[in-house]
Structure 1
Amino acid sequence: MDTEHWKVLLAAIDTGSLSAAGEKLGYTVSGISRSVAALEKEIGFPLLYRSKQGVTPTPPCARLLPDVRELMYVQNKIEQTAANVLGYEQGSVGIGTAYRHYYPWITAVTSQFRALHPKIRFDIVNGTSTDLVGQLERHALDFCIVSAREGAHQWLPLCQDPLLAVVPANHPLAKRESVPLEALLPEPYIQTCPGLDIDSTRFFTHRGVKPNLQFTTADVQATYAMIGAGLGYTIGNRINSNFHDPAVRHLAIDPPEIIEIGLAYSKVPTPAAAAFLKFIKKQMPAET
């Protein structure tokens, strides 16, 4: 069984498009189609649904995907180990972060590591904690800086981060240092990234209450702009808060809600990821 066909299939599924998979792997669209067709003939059933919107795995294909991803991960590890035996390095390291606060640190560490290991390639992406941990566990990433999530991965704590209430600067509650959640619940709530499993949505679930949802936005900057305009409040991570915005105030929540942020990584890293992990443990940032 040609593992290159499985690599093509995963690229098509992960990008959602035959053309995008071709661009990623350097194939033509017809080449991608032929590879998938050859695999379907060999395996004995259809693997992809095709539509104008792109491609998605069939139910039988979805059952295979965890094993396919494990196969490709093991092949990658073998290739990297073989390269090391021959006296040279190869491979890549994928890093995700849910917190922009850590970009300066992770890029500085990456730069230092690359000076010692110039053949190792890096990919840095952003996303929500839940999404990034999912990518980690299906081997699309090697590391991610996230809030604590369930899953089969290793964990290196970075900081304890309190959630804060963010209100308009002219709000009656803005003069307080802390505020009970009950005082905020009647207020219009602005939800960043609705429908995603992020720290603020977990906060309300943990407290067993629902906010008075009135507005949604796609990013934190838009949320801050709406708060500054007096449209409502939000709950957000202190580590990502914009304390330089004079139009808003940040209040501690009473009782506090503390989020543990850390570095999640694979239990069985590739040689390149293992080398980076050893290096990064010596460069841990001070807790903020």
Structure 2
Amino acid sequence: MDAKKINALLVSIDRGSLTAAAAELGYTQSGLTHMMNALEDELGLNLLVRSKNGVHLSPAGQELLPQMRALAAAASALEERAERLRQRNFSTLRLGAYTSVARQWLPAVLAEFRHTCPDTEVAMDVGGIMEIYDSIKNDKMDCAIVSFQESLCQGLSWVPLRDDALVAVLPGNYPLESPAFPVKDFTDKEFLMPSACFDLDINPVFSMGGEKVSPRVRYTNLDDAAIVSMVEHGLGVSILSELVMQDMNNSVRVAPLSPPAWRALGIIMSERRQNDKNIKRFVKCAHTVINRMYRGEREKEKKSM
């Protein structure tokens, strides 16, 4: 049932004229007449009595009038509610991120975003890999800064931001023979795997170059800080990232991997949301701020070439 036809009929009987109703609603008289005929055909009833003096309801129309007014009111309420939701969604960005990203990147990114989009609120949540990817796919988040996972990215758009180097996290007294830690040396070591499905970032390290490395993996439900504390107390070794280890003050040894490995950090969003105004603004702010953060590092790399 088309609520627009019902509303047009109600306006017609309130005005007592198809001509007056058509002018008020922005239709031609012939167009409005066609709508009324189509509504009567749909219901199988004559609703209007037409005369030289205008229009009024037929007996069947009079009997259906309460239901028609209720339907028109419900349609109007639905449209008003949908508009409020559209306005809320437009003015609120639902953002997800890993804890390390929220700690190291997001304060500066969100400060830039607030300056650029002062009228847009940000609702932020942190989580693990699967949790965030599922939230994007189920429309619980608008976009998120996460590591790229090819197997999870179907139907999503990906905007790269920066490669975050993975590092070995070792007890403070671990005897390193070179600046980098050979990945093969994880073999038979007690390895503390971080929680929240971050094994998706770490496990590929153990099969780089076709060589299978087999540490004794202990899957944990521990966050990054707890993993580092466990390593500090000699309970195992681990792999985290440079971003995770930034500003960690524990007495552990942190070494780059040999061969080197990274997790690719970027922004994911649903393909149907990639042209959303707020998301595009956030992506631009994130690029600007993160490029600014690492500008000195890039200039240093250029000088060393």
Q: TM-score, normalised by structure 1?
A: 0.60
Return the offset for 1:80. Answer: 6.8
Q: Give the helix-richer structure, 1 or 2.
A: 2
Deviation sequence 1:78-133 (CA, Å, 0-9, x none): 637965xxxx9854211111252444543444345445655533211111233212
Distance in 2 separating the partners of 1:204 and 1:255: 11
Q: Given residue 180 of structure 2, which amino acid in structure 1 is its aligned partner?
A: S
Matches within 5 A, 1:139-288: 139-150=139-150, 151=153, 152-173=155-176, 176-193=178-195, 197-204=199-206, 208-214=212-218, 216-242=220-246, 244-245=248-249, 247-269=251-273, 273-282=276-285, 283-286=288-291, 288=294
Q: Please tell me whether the aligned partners of residues 130 and 197 of structure 1 are also in contact (alpha carbons under 8 angstroms).
A: no
Give the secondary-structure state (helix, strand or coil) at the position aligned to 2:235: coil
Q: Please tell me whether the aligned partners of residues 113 and 276 of structure 1 are also in contact (alpha carbons under 8 angstroms).
A: no
Return the offset for 1:156. Answer: 1.6
Matches within 5 A, 1:6-155: 79=83, 83=87, 90-103=90-103, 105-114=105-114, 117=117, 119-150=119-150, 151=153, 152-155=155-158
Give the secondary-structure state (helix, strand or coil) at the position aligned to 1:218: coil
Q: Given residue 136 of structure 1, which amino acid in structure 2 is its aligned partner?
A: I
Deviation sequence 1:127-178 (CA, Å, 0-9, x none): 12332122112211111111112322222211112211110110122x5311
Residue in structure 1 matched with residue 66 of structure 2 by the alignment: none
Q: TM-score, normalised by structure 2?
A: 0.57
Return the offset for 1:250. Answer: 0.9
Give the secondary-structure state (helix, strand or coil) at the position aligned to 1:183: helix
Q: Please tell me whether the aligned partners of residues 172 and 252 of structure 2 are also in contact (alpha carbons under 8 angstroms).
A: yes
Is the radius of gyration larger for structure 1 or structure 2?
2
Q: Which runs of 5+ in 1 are unaligned?
A: 1-74
Return the offset for 1:198. Answer: 3.8
Aligned length: 207
Return the offset for 1:188. Answer: 1.5
